[in-house]
Amino acid sequence: MAAERRGGVTISQVAEAAGVARSSVSRAYTRPHMLSPETVERIKMAAERLGYVPNHTARALSTGRHGNVALIVPDVANPFFPPMIRAAQVEADRSDFCVFLGNSDEDPEKEDKLLGRFAGQVEGIILASPRLSDERIVAHAALRPLVLINRNVEGIPRVLIDSGTGIGEATAHLAELGHRNIVYVSGPSTSWSNKQRRAAVRKAAGERGLDLSFVSASVPSFEAGLQAVDAILAKGASAAIAFDDVTAQGILAGLAARGIGVPKDFSVVGCDDALGPLTVPALTTVSSRSVEAGKLAVSLLMEMLQSQALRDASYVLETHLIVRGTTGRAPGQ
Amino acid sequence: MAAERRGGVTISQVAEAAGVARSSVSRAYTRPHMLSPETVERIKMAAERLGYVPNHTARALSTGRHGNVALIVPDVANPFFPPMIRAAQVEADRSDFCVFLGNSDEDPEKEDKLLGRFAGQVEGIILASPRLSDERIVAHAALRPLVLINRNVEGIPRVLIDSGTGIGEATAHLAELGHRNIVYVSGPSTSWSNKQRRAAVRKAAGERGLDLSFVSASVPSFEAGLQAVDAILAKGASAAIAFDDVTAQGILAGLAARGIGVPKDFSVVGCDDALGPLTVPALTTVSSRSVEAGKLAVSLLMEMLQSQALRDASYVLETHLIVRGTTGRAPGQ
DNA sequence: CTGTTAGCGCTTTCAA
DNA sequence: TTGAAAGCGCTAACAG
């Protein structure tokens, strides 16, 4: 029998073998109920005998549906994303979709380029923590179904993780522990999440009459956290809330290097629960909801693909404080 | 019939705008040297202005090449893989390929299913740490170019990370620090990597006359490491080498809970450098080479696609010990 | 129910 | 150097 060579058996060969039109072969696969049972049977037999497998690419070109979606993230290796990616995969799989993964390297231009490269082979796109401008995002969204994660653009379906709630809780937690002077170590100034977190600490600290200062770590990294320690200490604070867990770990390392005990002498809170309870002492942090965000974004996209309607939906996921081992009573309390 | 989906500026529109034939637009992208520089320029300008992006699907149908590869991993969220995924992405991008990402959830059947779904829309596949049987792998490799990472199947191009070298160094390192009694906390018994690591400790410990015991953590996880601590201590060891970093962190947490100081009273070595210097104290571990593996696997695949020849190549990447803060002199030395 | 006939967007001879 | 035209394999009106 004909082995499956590349560029294999086509619909025409099956049609000829079964003595029907090409369209019937097509229908036998996509709308069998439109054909008489015997015809379907005959076609399937012929197909089987010839080793026919429908060509995905041709079908996609014709229908515009490829059964693929794309997910673009700024950095696959940032521990915040893998769980989200995984959740998105699982959800896409439930609808029998395959997912393209794109990595923008935190670069708006590369993100734009990726969007272009995926266009034409995916039915919809999920953009997580995009670095792209609102304009470009809107432009792409006009071309095809697009869902945003952690970016608030009016009119475009989006899933927002509200780290503000968790950060607020963290601030309250520190206040209860007796801390009166705290610092927020901020992340990328252009990041939507950073703005949100910063605003949340400010608000919560204000309500409780805490002294609040800011130290900037521009890039969220272990190094940046490490280097922020001097500035933090200079503010006379007894606790710090970091933009994310990786930065928080850098701060912890810097503190340890100076012989400052955590949580005895100083308290540290991270954000995103990227590390889990993995570290010693385990990091007090804010839950990330990234798994739910990934799942929700995909199911939203699937809905859009079904209904062809792109309504202006905005889902907000609240976060919460996870108290672990890096926060304690303020010294002298 | 595909009702002109919102989606696409086509070659025809560009052709019209530039006042040339469609074929010229095509050539402007695929064989610019066949056109006069001005024509190319004019076409590119028009394309730019209209926001034209070549349609991959259509091109694929016409040429038989889709410019896509698939990468299948057991668990995206396992910190070992993201850097590898990222590296693979980058390398694929250099050849202008898009990558499908598949997550098998450590399940052989799901892995098989994914392979099937990707077939027909990718030119080649990379299987990282596959859980599939040799037979199935061979079967798939017969259908299309396939590269393996961390799986040794004769006849199939593969990239192997030899964690044995690094583990050997780790053992020597501990011996030099005066440790005489060590334990290896092993991972999944079916894992190729675990067998390799276990054999390496045994060999190195034997050569140096160290007392070596084994404690099994069946599943590599923080919890498993935590629970292994009692058994480890019961062996009377002064140092432990863990299957991976996550397990090592569990051990560290367990040690800390018992008030055992690291590295003063006990030394711990991880494997895979999944956490970097992130933790406090930073974990002494074995480099993973996962970045190189991802990059190499893709470039190998690209070569195969170019030459149409699937030679039996096997690349081995050696690993090395990374000494950080969790190893020190044996107590009483 | 089934066949005919246009395409989907792009590449690729073959001529000019 | 460029254009015209014939597909790649499949789907989807539109007839019959």
The Cα-based distances of B150 to A77, B176, B184 in angstroms read: 20, 30, 21
A102 shares its domain with A128: yes
User: Residue B120 belongs to a domain with what CATH number?
Assistant: 3.40.50.2300
> What is the H or E stretch that residue B46 is in?
helix B37-50
Sheet holding A239-242, edge to edge: A211-216, A181-186, A239-242, A267-269
Mean of pLDDT values over A234-244:
96
Residue B309 is predicted with a pLDDT of 66
The answer to whether B285 and B267 have CB atoms below 8 angstroms apart is no
The answer to whether position B327 is within a domain reads: no
The answer to whether B162 and B196 have CB atoms below 8 angstroms apart is yes
The answer to whether B151 and B129 have CB atoms below 8 angstroms apart is yes
The answer to whether position A38 is within a domain reads: yes
Helix axes A56-63, B56-63, angle to 10 degrees: 140
In chain A, what percentage of residues exceed pLDDT 90? 78
What distance in Å separates the CA atoms of residue A318 and residue B140, rounded to the nearest whole number?
A: 44
Which bases of chain C come closer than 7 Å to a protein CB? Answer: 1-13
User: Residue A21 belongs to a domain with what CATH number?
Assistant: 1.10.260.40
Q: Calculate the dihedral angle through the C-alpha atoms of A55, A57, A62, A67, rounding to the nearest 10 degrees.
A: 100
The answer to whether position B99 is within a domain reads: yes
Two tokens, residue A98: 């395959």
The answer to whether position B199 is within a domain reads: yes
pLDDT at A199 over 80: yes
B212 shares its domain with B171: yes
Number of domains in chain A: 3
Mean of pLDDT values over A166-195:
93
What tens digit of pLDDT does each residue of A93-140 get?
999 899 999 999 888 999 999 998 888 889 999 999 998 999 999 999
- A261–B contact, CB cutoff 8 A: no
B145 shares its domain with B79: yes
Q: Is B264 exposed, middle or buried (0-12, 13-18, 19+ CB in 10 A)?
A: exposed
Of A107-121, A258-272, B53-67, B305-319, the one with minimum mean pLDDT is: B305-319
What tens digit of pLDDT does each residue of A56-89 get?
999 999 998 889 999 999 999 888 999 999 999 9
A109 shares its domain with A91: yes
A196 shares its domain with A281: yes
The answer to whether position A327 is within a domain reads: no
What distance in Å separates the CA atoms of residue B197 and residue A83, rounded to the nearest whole number?
A: 27
The answer to whether position A5 is within a domain reads: no
Q: Beta A321-322 vs A285-286: how paired, if at all?
A: antiparallel
A254 shares its domain with A172: yes
Domain boundaries, position A37: 11-63
- A95–B contact, CB cutoff 8 A: no
What distance in Å separates the CA atoms of residue B239 and residue B174, rounded to the nearest whole number?
A: 8
A146 shares its domain with A205: no
A197 shares its domain with A186: yes
Contact A76 B86 (CB under 8 A): yes
Rg of chain B on CA atoms, in Å = 26
Tokens 């780790």 belong to which residue? B170
Does the pTM exceed 0.85?
Answer: yes
The Cα-based distances of A160 to A318, B23, B158 in angstroms read: 9, 45, 41
Q: Give B96's pLDDT tier (boundaries 50, 70, 90).
A: confident
The separation, in Å, between residue B299 CA and nucleotide D7 C1' comes to 33
Residue A3 is predicted with a pLDDT of 30
What tens digit of pLDDT does each residue of B115-172 get?
988 888 899 999 998 989 999 999 999 888 999 999 999 999 999 999 999 999 999 9
The answer to whether B316 and B182 have CB atoms below 8 angstroms apart is no
* Minimum-distance CB partner of A61 among B58, B64, B276: B58
In chain A, what percentage of residues exceed pLDDT 70? 96
A152 shares its domain with A296: yes
Mean pLDDT of chain A: 91
The separation, in Å, between residue A316 CA and nucleotide D13 C1' comes to 43
Closest CA to B275 of B231, B210, B238, B325: B325
A300 shares its domain with A280: no
A-B contacts at Cβ under 8 angstroms: 150
Closest CA to A78 of A261, A277, A220, A255: A220
> Cα angle at B64 between B58 and B69, to 5 degrees?
90
Residue B193 is predicted with a pLDDT of 86
* Minimum-distance CB partner of A82 among B54, B77, B279: B77
B253 shares its domain with B114: no
The answer to whether A69 and A298 have CB atoms below 8 angstroms apart is yes
pLDDT at B1 over 70: no
Residue A1 is predicted with a pLDDT of 28
A114 shares its domain with A86: yes
> What is the H or E stretch that residue B240 is in?
strand B239-242
Q: Which of residues 123-182 of A touch B (CB under 8 A)?
A: 139, 142-144
What tens digit of pLDDT does each residue of A20-48 get?
999 999 999 999 999 999 999 999 999 99
